[in-house]
């Protein structure tokens, strides 16, 4: 995994950059503020502006170790200087949801004997779902986690980032929480760690808040059994389409 611009400069949402290669409907930028997606988090929404006009970014594609931006107009071919701009509302939504999934993950890990994540998907409607390897779990006990999740949000815990050697990440119990996959190391062999002060520390490549208090409250919307060893929990931010005010 590269050290993305959004990792190093999370609050810079507009960047003057350059198109270094182009194809119809695709462009490779020298640098981009858009998160390219991964780990259940979708690509940032945003636009590219250049001498020929403005076009929305609809996704990314990786090829040969390079990340191409996919454009809404398949005929557009961008050349020269480019202004890349992230949609701030969408980035904020993703930062809130991804941080809140870490809070949920931490509380599940503590309450259910180190249960691992088996899947995660964050959505643009203000909701997210997480699957956990939990063989036996009372739905009321899972639903009761809503109050402590919101308590952590209200406490205003700092969220910080660090990088540790891959061997340390793999050898430290609890740093890697997914049952089947782990965030790939950077080119220099480090793994990105997200730390919620006094609560959680785990490997992750997504975008997050700097403080839990910057998230809206959330609700646990639904709990499903997805097989003998899989419990799916869907959460939603209050005031978003998933959870109307």
pTM exceeds 0.75 for this model: yes
Q: Would you place residue 138 in the very low, low, confident or very high pLDDT band (cuts 50, 70, 90)?
A: confident
Do residue 104 and residue 202 come from a single domain?
yes
Task: Flag whether 245 is in a domain.
Answer: no
Beta bridge partners of 58: none
Stretch 20-32: mean pLDDT: 96
Q: Which two tokens stand for residue 188?
A: 């220099």
* % of the chain with per-residue pLDDT over 70: 98
pLDDT tens column, 181-194: 777 888 899 999 99
Domain containing residue 193: CATH number: 3.30.980.10
Domain containing residue 57: CATH number: 2.40.30.130
Q: Are 221 and 201 in contact (CB under 8 A)?
A: no
pLDDT at 80 over 90: yes
Q: What is the mean pLDDT of the chain?
A: 93
Q: Which among 67, 60, 127, 71 has a CA at the least distance from the CA of 94?
A: 127
Do residue 100 and residue 27 come from a single domain?
no
Do residue 29 and residue 115 come from a single domain?
no
Do residue 179 and residue 132 come from a single domain?
yes
Q: Which among 104, 95, 96 has a CA at the least distance from the CA of 143?
A: 104
Task: Flag whether 243 is in a domain.
Answer: no
Work out how many domains the chain is built from and give that number: 2
> How far is the C-alpha of 106 from the C-alpha of 108, rounded, in Å?
6
> How far is the C-alpha of 28 from the C-alpha of 70, rounded, in Å?
9
pLDDT tens column, 201-236: 999 999 999 999 999 999 999 999 887 788 999 999
Per the structure, the complete domain to which residue 200 belongs is given by: 91-237
Report the residue count for the chain: 245
């Amino acid at each position: 995994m590269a050290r993305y611009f959004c990792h190093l400069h999370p609050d810079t949402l507009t960047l003057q950059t350059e198109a270094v290669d182009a194809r119809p409907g695709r462009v490779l930028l020298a640098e981009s503020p858009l998160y390219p997606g991964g780990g259940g988090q979708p690509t940032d929404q945003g636009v590219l502006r250049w001498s020929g006009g403005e076009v929305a970014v609809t996704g990314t594609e990786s090829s040969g170790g390079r990340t191409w931006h996919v454009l809404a107009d398949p005929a557009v071919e961008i050349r020269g200087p480019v202004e890349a701009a992230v949609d701030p509302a969408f980035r904020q939504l993703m930062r809130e949801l991804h941080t809140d999934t870490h809070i949920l993950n931490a509380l599940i890990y503590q309450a259910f004997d180190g249960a691992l994540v088996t899947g995660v998907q964050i959505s643009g409607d203000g909701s997210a779902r997480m699957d956990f390897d939990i063989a036996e779990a009372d739905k009321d006990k899972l639903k009761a986690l809503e109050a402590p999740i919101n308590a952590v949000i209200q406490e205003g815990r700092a969220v910080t980032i660090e990088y540790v050697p891959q061997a340390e990440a793999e050898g430290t119990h609890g740093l890697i929480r997914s049952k089947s996959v782990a965030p790939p190391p950077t080119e220099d062999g480090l793994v990105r760690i997200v730390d919620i002060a006094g609560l959680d520390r785990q490997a992750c490549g997504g975008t997050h808040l700097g403080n839990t208090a910057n998230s809206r409250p959330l609700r646990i919307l639904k709990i499903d059994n997805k097989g003998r060893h899989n419990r799916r929990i869907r959460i939603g931010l209050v005031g978003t389409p998933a959870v109307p005010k």
